[in-house]
């Protein structure tokens, strides 16, 4: 890591040689005007990672810098950043929740980040190694024909580094959120769910319980923000945590994840849809109903039966996530996460063939059309999600589309396996 880190730190401290001055514009904008102390954790990490990514920082270094800066921030007395109570504020709520002025406290966080970068540039410390398993991740998202883009996603191979976890298995976290009625709920979940997950004591011993608790806690946190800011949006979500040889997937609603092993799609989950028999029964037992209005809807409103947010339809639209765990045997190809804008147009059984098509080497037109271009594995992998999204759009999807493919083996190994399989099939036919 040090070989990559030093050149970046040199450039970073040239741009930020000293603390940001009071009143000067921030290099990146905070997500919110006001935050609770609990929300400060996720929003600071998001802000720091966004700043560092825009400057081309190595991912592992970004995680370590943000974790160190946040630790220093939380040691400060933050009472000077408390928001003054405004006329008309809910007295009872104000006594329970202290709000911080986001821009002011985030300036302090960014200054802590600059301080850490300056110190490490002078004397780079010893740190735990980067994740032992490098996972190539291909992701692409489009607004498509919708008026707004309401999807959010997060790929975090450096989960342990970001949260200072030095014991237990290396973790990698990936998530896709499909918002509706606005982007607020999806942005909130993408900012806070992984933070809530990192704080669960059962994360190593009982990941399913940790995931369910984290989803529920994120929904409860968003309820407070939605009440304060009069927000009405909701979001489905699917999140994957990979710990050594264990893959856990947790979900709310109809965003999905599938695993591909030896070229075969494996079902990991059953999406929550209003017409799913057990979901329909749950809603009716609560006194709600399922009606068909172009698609099946809960009480004639939302087309999803579980989500973060949608508080006007709780508990019919449940905030309780489901989770499944799969043991990785070492022969897995990849795991794919996507919103319903993809899966409404593409069947899971089609995915392996589409991915292999996307992985085929590009051809050099100047070489007569039959000479493969030399490309790195990263370059080859990154185009996969783009081609999957394009296929879903061509197949008729008009919704926002987000696709994330996390490769669990080297891409060249996938191509080699497919080539060997094709040779064996040809020999058998002859």
For residue 421 the two structure tokens come to: 């399989």
Could you give the count of Cα atoms lying within 13 Å of 319 in the half-sphere of its Cβ? Answer: 23
Give the pLDDT of residue 414: 84
Read off the pLDDT band of 288 (50, 70, 90): very high
186-195, 257-266, 374-383: which range is least confident on average?
374-383
Residue indicated by tokens 């600059």? 114
Our measurement of the distance from residue 239's CA atom to the centroid of its chain's CA atoms, rounded to an integer in Å, reads 7
DSSP state of 326: E
User: Residue 214 CB: number of other CB atoms within 10 A?
Assistant: 25
**344: helix, strand or coil:** coil
Residue found under tokens 């966004």: 50
Domain ranges of the chain: 2-122, 137-429
Quote the CA–CA distance of 384 and 338 in Å, as a whole number: 13
Q: How far apart are alpha carbons 197 and 221 in whole angstroms?
A: 13
pTM of the prediction? 0.91
Determine the Cα–Cα distance for residues 221 and 261; give it in Å rounded to an integer. 37
Instruction: Look at 61-70, 94-103, 232-241 and tell me which has the smallest mean pLDDT.
Output: 94-103
Of 374, 359, 375, 362, whose CA–CA distance to 415 is shortest? 359
pLDDT at 423: 45
**For the chain, the helix, strand and coil percentages under 3-state DSSP, each to the nearest 5:** 45, 20, 35
CATH fold, domain 137-429, is Phosphatase 2c; domain 1 (3.60.40)
At 233 the three-state DSSP class reads coil
């Amino acid at each position: 890591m040090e070989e990559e880190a030093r050149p970046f730190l040199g450039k970073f401290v040239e741009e930020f040689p000293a603390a940001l001055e009071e009143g000067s514009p921030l290099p990146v904008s905070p997500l919110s005007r006001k935050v609770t102390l609990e929300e400060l954790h996720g929003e600071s990490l998001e802000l720091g990672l966004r700043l560092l990514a825009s400057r081309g920082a190595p991912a592992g270094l970004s995680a370590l810098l943000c974790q160190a800066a946040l630790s220093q921030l939380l040691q400060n007395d933050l009472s000077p950043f408390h928001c003054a109570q405004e006329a008309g504020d809910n007295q009872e709520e104000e006594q329970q929740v202290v709000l911080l002025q986001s821009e002011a406290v985030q300036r302090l966080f960014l200054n802590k980040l600059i301080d850490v970068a300056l110190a490490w540039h002078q004397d780079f410390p010893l740190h735990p190694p980067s994740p032992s398993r490098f996972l190539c991740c291909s992701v692409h998202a489009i607004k498509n024909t919708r008026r707004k883009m309401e999807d959010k996603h997060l790929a975090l191979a450096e989960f342990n580094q970001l949260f200072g976890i030095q014991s237990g298995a290396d973790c990698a976290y990936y998530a896709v959120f499909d918002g509706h009625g606005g982007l607020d709920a999806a942005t909130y979940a993408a900012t806070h769910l992984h933070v809530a997950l990192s704080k669960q004591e059962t994360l190593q011993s009982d990941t399913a319980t940790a995931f369910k608790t984290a989803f529920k806690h994120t929904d409860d946190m968003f309820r407070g923000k939605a009440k304060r800011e009069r927000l009405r949006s909701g979001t489905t979500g699917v999140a994957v945590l990979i710990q050594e040889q264990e893959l856990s997937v947790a979900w709310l609603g109809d965003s999905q994840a599938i695993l591909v092993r030896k070229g075969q799609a494996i079902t990991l989950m059953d999406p929550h849809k209003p017409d799913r028999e057990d979901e329909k029964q749950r809603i009716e037992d609560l006194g709600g109903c399922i009606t068909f209005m172009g698609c099946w809807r809960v009480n004639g409103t939302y087309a999803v039966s579980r989500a973060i947010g949608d508080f006007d339809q709780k508990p019919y639209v449940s905030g309780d996530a489901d989770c499944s765990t799969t043991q990785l045997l070492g022969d897995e190809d990849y795991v794919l996460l996507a919103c319903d804008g993809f899966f409404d147009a593409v069947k899971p059984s089609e995915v392996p063939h589409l991915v292999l098509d996307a992985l085929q080497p590009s051809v050099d037109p100047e070489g007569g059309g039959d000479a493969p271009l030399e490309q790195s594995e990263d370059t080859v992998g990154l185009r996969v999600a783009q081609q999957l999204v394009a296929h879903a759009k061509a197949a008729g999807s008009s919704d926002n589309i987000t696709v994330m493919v996390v490769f669990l083996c080297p891409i060249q190994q996938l191509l080699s396996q497919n080539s060997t399989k094709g040779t064996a099939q040809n020999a058998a036919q002859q």
